[in-house]
C-alpha cells in the first residue's frame, strides 16, 4: 500500500547530492546569462524561509528560481514523458529579464528544448 504512494513520483537520474544551492543573482556573477544550461531535474521545496521554492538542477548547482516557475516545475514533474526527456538531456534553461509591475527589471528563467 505505501509503496504505491510513491510509484508515480518522477525519477530524475542525475545525482545532485554534491550540488551547491544558489540563487540566480549569485549564479550569474560567474556564469553567462546568454548560454542555455542543461537541466538535470527539478523539485519544489516546501520548507523555505519564504514558503515553497522552485529548484532547478544544473551541472553542480541547485538553482533557486522565482516562485512563478513553481507551476511549470510541477507540470513537468507530473508528466512522465517530460521527466524522461529531462533525463535524456532534452531540457534546457535560459535566463530572461523582465520588468515587474513596479517597473523594476528582474531575472527569470524559461525551459527550452535542446
List the chain domain ranges.
14-113
Q: Can you tell me the distance from the alpha carbon of 93 to that of 38, in angstroms, rounded to the nearest whole number?
A: 6
pLDDT band of residue 49 (cuts 50, 70, 90) is confident
Q: Give the pLDDT confidence score for residue 51 in this predicted structure.
A: 85
Beta strand pairing status for 105-113 and 91-99?
antiparallel
Q: Give the pLDDT confidence score for residue 1 in this predicted structure.
A: 39
Contact 55, 69 (CB under 8 A): no
Q: Given its phi and psi angles, is residue 12 left (phi above 0), alpha (psi -120 to 50 degrees) or beta?
A: beta
For 2-43, what is each residue's pLDDT tens digit? 444 455 566 899 999 999 999 999 999 999 999 999 999 999
Mean local confidence (pLDDT), 84-99: 97
What does each C-alpha distance from 9 to 3, 25, 107 come to in angstroms? Answer: 11, 30, 30
Q: Give the pLDDT confidence score for residue 50 in this predicted structure.
A: 79
Contact 36, 112 (CB under 8 A): yes
* % of the chain beyond a pLDDT of 90: 84
Amino acid at each position: 500500500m505505501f509503496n504505491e504512494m510513491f510509484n508515480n513520483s518522477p525519477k530524475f537520474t542525475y545525482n545532485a547530492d554534491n550540488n551547491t544551492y544558489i540563487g540566480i543573482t549569485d549564479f550569474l556573477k560567474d556564469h553567462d546569462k546568454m548560454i542555455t544550461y542543461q537541466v538535470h531535474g527539478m523539485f519544489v521545496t516546501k520548507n523555505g524561509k519564504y514558503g515553497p521554492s522552485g529548484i532547478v538542477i544544473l551541472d553542480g548547482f541547485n538553482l533557486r528560481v522565482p516562485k512563478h516557475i513553481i507551476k511549470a516545475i510541477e507540470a513537468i514533474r507530473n508528466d512522465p514523458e517530460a521527466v524522461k526527456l529531462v533525463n535524456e538531456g532534452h531540457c534546457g534553461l535560459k535566463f530572461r529579464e523582465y520588468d515587474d509591475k513596479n517597473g523594476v527589471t528582474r531575472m527569470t528563467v524559461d525551459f527550452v528544448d535542446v
